[in-house]
Structure 1
Amino acid sequence: MEYTTKGTCSRKILFEVEDGKVHNVQFVGGCNGNTQGVARLVEGMDVNEAISRMKGIDCNGRGTSCPDQLAKALEQAIQK
């Protein structure tokens, strides 16, 4: 899946959800080390657990962050 981010340095998030698990997360843009870390931490994680852990994380008062945007992307993916 592909999700276009809003309000973050990263422009896009690519990912897969298979059997309720998060896989192959890739951020386009953003803080490379941080986004790689987030991607590795959620690999294989239950999608609902990933959403609950990341939803609402704020980056410097922006009202969102790369992890929060990933949570929103995952929410969209499981609603389809």
Structure 2
Amino acid sequence: MITYDYKPRGVCARAIHVELSDDGSTVENVLFEGGCNGNLKAISKLVHGMPTDRVVELLQGNTCGPRFTSCADQLTIALRAAAAEA
């Protein structure tokens, strides 16, 4: 299992903890610290077991209010970085 901790930028969440399958192709677990608690718990549940590439495809570029990014968008950066370690 690949574990990766990411410090997001431009969002309320303070950290994103990611666990991927050994080959980096599947999201095993995601945990956000800070941010919109209910929404980020929901995102974590929805992406559990999904292919990493599919999650990136769905969430990349998502914004939050006037911000250029969002916690979901920052998650895609964390997933790509974690998968690169495979």
TM-score, with normalisation over the residues of structure 1? 0.95
The answer to whether the 8 Å contact 2:18/2:82 transfers is no
Pair 1:46 & 2:51 matched: yes
Query: SS in structure 2 opposite 1:71?
Result: helix
Query: 1:21-60 residue pairs with structure 2 within 5 A?
Result: 21-60=26-65
Q: Per chain length, whose mean CA-contact separation is higher, i.e. which structure has more relative contact order (CA < 8 Å, sep 6+)? A: 2
Give 1:28 deviation, angstroms: 0.2
1:7-22 maps to which residues of 2 (within 5 A)? 7-18=10-21, 19=23, 20-22=25-27
Task: Give the C-alpha shift of residue 30 in structure 1.
Answer: 0.3
Cα distance in 2 between the residues matched to 1:26 and 1:75: 16
Q: CA deviation at 1:15?
A: 1.2
Distance (Å, rounded) in 2 between the aligned partners of 1:78 and 1:25: 13
Structure 1 residue 62: deviation in Å? Answer: 0.8
RMSD: 0.8
In structure 2, list runs of 5 or more residues that go unmatched: none
Task: Structure 1: state its 5+ residue gaps.
Answer: none
Please, which moves more after superposition, 37-46 or 16-25? 16-25
Structure 2 residue identity aligned to 1:17: L
TM-score by length of 2: 0.89
Identity, % of aligned positions = 41
Equivalent pairs counted in the alignment come to 80
Deviations, residues 5-57 of structure 1 (Å, cap 9, x unaligned):
10000010001110411012100000000000100000000000001100000
